[in-house]
């Protein structure tokens, strides 16, 4: 019998009852009416860590506390930083839940509760993984540092302050949480039975463009054709940013784009993604995007431009023949690894200034930006995680990327200079942030088992 199986088997039911106990605590971080429950949730976790003999701290912040725990340093072996969050989204609308959000209920082998998959259920697999390892072998082969926050769903001000060195003066933060690799389980598998390692994320650069023309709204008959209309100009300027082939027209935009390798393209192609099902799911008769790339390649690894909102002029019922004095839009580009949001911003501003005609005043507000992330498929940490997941799930993981961004991954890269392994045990349809959030209990146990092996596999990497 594989080494960890006896302990996993013996504690199978207790892992579940512990999880349910934790899920019963309504740790809604964004609503101060639940401050007591949030604190109780953090305390519960801290007690778990203490029970494992880990050096444990509850770090007070401007918001909810961080729960930090670490095992002893192992000379010559990597240190792993495990990140997760114990806060949950508000459960509203309550009437759409089939069972109460804070009364974990099992149906079809899945536990339904707020936080089941995002992120209490996934995060705790690593706590039980460490427990199983310790109880089976007596000591961990790598140093593990847990950094678990309570404000992931509400802005993360506490973690930001901590990473800026605001709360712990004894040891500089870069020293305290120094690690060789970070591990986060707060995402999904590719599909049921297809565990995945997410090795790439997109970055983003987000703007608001404000255009102002005449000093007041004008009659479009009396004044039309004699002055520049900000709404017309807005359409023209936005349209110039992307061509018919889906190529973004900002000068230099593609210069630093990390191209997909042949190996990546082959791996994406093997995932069996269906354009037809995708169209059907979205109610479309055709897809669109950058020419020369498949749907998955566009979603995961090609930069994009999208208008996120635009307004100007009359929007009520009927007709109003107005020539609006102002028009504006919010738009963003999703970026891919190696693209620099600052470079894009400078080039975009210059392009828009050149496009903006006399008679229109332009203001471009840069709202926020973050670079993309990619971990090499050849990284020894990827290989270690892949072997661990194979042992935990009984099947090799697939390698996927995501069109989204995870700010904490960028923080770990900037503050600690380390990469992150994104190991998701959930499913895309787990209803995170929605009513009836769920998590497969089978995947919960497979996650725990993968976690046990992960420490062992990472220990083989020389540092």
CA 75/CA 202 separation, integer angstroms? 35
CB of 323 to Zn ion, least distance (A): 47
Q: How many residues belong to the chain? A: 463
Separation between Cα atoms, residue 104 and residue 96, nearest integer Å: 15
Stretch that binds Zn ion, among 119-127, 265-273, 334-342, 381-389 (CB under 5 A): 119-127
The yes or no reply on residue 437 touching Zn ion (CB under 5 A) is: no
Q: Which of the ranges 56-64, 115-123, 158-166, 420-428 carries the binding residues for Zn ion, by CB under 5 A?
A: 115-123
DSSP tag of 154: G
Give the single-character DSSP code of 32: G
By beta-carbon proximity to Zn ion, the closer residue of 118 and 419 is: 118
Which of helix, strand or coil describes residue 286? coil
When the beta carbons of 105 and 154 are compared against Zn ion, the nearer one is 154
Between residues 37 and 118, which has the closer beta carbon with respect to Zn ion? 118
Cα-Cα-Cα-Cα torsion 131, 134, 137, 141, nearest 10 degrees, comes to: 110
In Å, how far are 59, 60, 79, 82, 210 from 149, measured between CA atoms?
10, 11, 19, 11, 37
Going by the DSSP 8-state scheme, the letter that residue 94 receives in this structure is: G
x/- site string to Zn ion, residues 163 to 192, per CB under 5 A? Answer: -----------------------x------
Q: Are 183 and 148 in contact (CB under 8 A)?
A: no
Closest approach of Cβ 69 to Zn ion, in Å?
19
Give the whole-angstrom CA distance, residue 54 versus residue 434: 34
Per the listing, tokens 């109880």 go with 135
- For Zn ion, give the closer residue by CB, 118 or 151: 118
Q: Applying CB under 5 A, which of residues 37, 119, 297, 457 lies at the interface with Zn ion?
A: 119
88 DSSP assignment: B
Q: In the stretch 369-398, what mask flags binding to Zn ion with x, by CB under 5 A? A: ------------------------------
Minimum distance, C-beta of residue 149 to Zn ion, in the bound complex (Å): 10
User: Would you give the distance in Å from CA 391 to the centre of its chain?
Assistant: 25
Q: How many chain residues interact with Zn ion (CB under 5 A)? A: 3
Query: Which CB sits closer to Zn ion, 119 or 131?
Result: 119
* Residues within window 185-244 making contact with Zn ion, judged by CB under 5 A: 186
Residue among 4 and 162 whose Cβ is closer to Zn ion: 162
Query: Judged by CB, which is closer to Zn ion: 252, or 407?
Result: 407
Give the C-alpha separation, 140 to 436, whole Å. Answer: 36
Least spacing, CB of residue 45 vs Zn ion, in Å? 15
Q: Which of 37, 70, 87, 118 binds Zn ion (CB under 5 A)?
A: 118
What is the chain's Cα-based Rg? 25
197 CB burial (10 A radius; 0-12, 13-18, 19+): buried
Q: Is 149 in the site for Zn ion (CB under 5 A)?
A: no
Does residue 419 bind Zn ion (CB under 5 A)?
no
The residues binding Zn ion (CB under 5 A) are: 118-119, 186
């Amino acid at each position: 019998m594989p080494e960890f199986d006896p302990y996993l088997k013996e504690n199978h039911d207790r892992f579940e009852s512990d999880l349910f106990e934790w899920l019963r605590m309504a740790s809604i971080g964004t609503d101060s009416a639940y401050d007591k429950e949030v604190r109780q949730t953090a305390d519960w976790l801290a007690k778990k860590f203490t029970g494992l003999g880990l050096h444990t701290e509850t770090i007070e912040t401007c918001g909810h506390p961080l729960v930090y725990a670490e095992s002893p340093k192992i000379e010559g072996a990597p240190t792993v930083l495990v990140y997760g969050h114990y806060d949950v989204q508000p459960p509203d609308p309550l009437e759409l839940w089939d069972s109460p959000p804070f009364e974990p209920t099992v149906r079809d082998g899945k536990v339904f509760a707020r936080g089941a998959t995002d992120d209490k259920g996934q995060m705790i697999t690593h706590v039980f993984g460490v427990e199983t390892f310790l109880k089976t072998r007596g000591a961990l082969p790598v140093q593990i540092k847990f950094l678990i926050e309570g404000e992931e769903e509400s802005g993360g001000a506490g973690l930001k302050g901590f990473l800026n060195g605001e709360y712990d003066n004894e040891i500089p933060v870069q020293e305290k949480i120094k690690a060789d690799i970070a591990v986060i389980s707060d995402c999904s598998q590719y599909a049921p039975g297809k565990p995945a390692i997410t090795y790439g994320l997109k970055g983003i650069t987000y703007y608001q463009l404000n255009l102002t023309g005449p000093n007041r709204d004008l009659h479009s008959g009396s004044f039309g054709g004699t002055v520049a209309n900000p709404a017309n100009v807005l359409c023209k300027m936005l349209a110039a940013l992307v061509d018919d082939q889906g190529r973004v027209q900002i000068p230099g935009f593609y210069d630093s784009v990390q191209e997909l390798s042949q190996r990546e393209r082959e791996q994406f192609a093997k995932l069996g993604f269906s354009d037809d099902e995708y169209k059907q799911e979205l109610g479309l008769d055709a897809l669109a995007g950058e020419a020369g790339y498949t749907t998955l390649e566009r979603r995961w690894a090609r930069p994009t431009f999208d208008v996120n909102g635009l307004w100007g002029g009359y929007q009520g019922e009927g007709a109003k023949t107005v020539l609006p004095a102002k028009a504006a839009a919010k738009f963003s580009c999703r970026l891919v690894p190696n693209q620099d949001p600052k470079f894009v911003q400078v080039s975009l501003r210059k392009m828009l200034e050149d496009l903006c005609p006399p008679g229109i005043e332009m203001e471009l507000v840069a709202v926020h930006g973050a670079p993309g992330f990619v971990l090499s498929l050849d990284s020894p940490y990827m290989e270690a995680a892949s072997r661990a997941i194979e042992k935990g799930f009984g099947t090799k993981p697939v390698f996927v990327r995501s069109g989204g961004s995870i700010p904490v991954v960028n923080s770990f890269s900037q503050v600690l200079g380390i990469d992150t392994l994104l190991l998701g045990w959930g499913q895309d349809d787990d209803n995170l942030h929605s009513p009836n959030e769920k998590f497969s209990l089978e995947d919960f146990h497979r996650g725990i088992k993968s976690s046990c092996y992960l420490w062992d596999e990472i220990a083989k990497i020389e540092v």
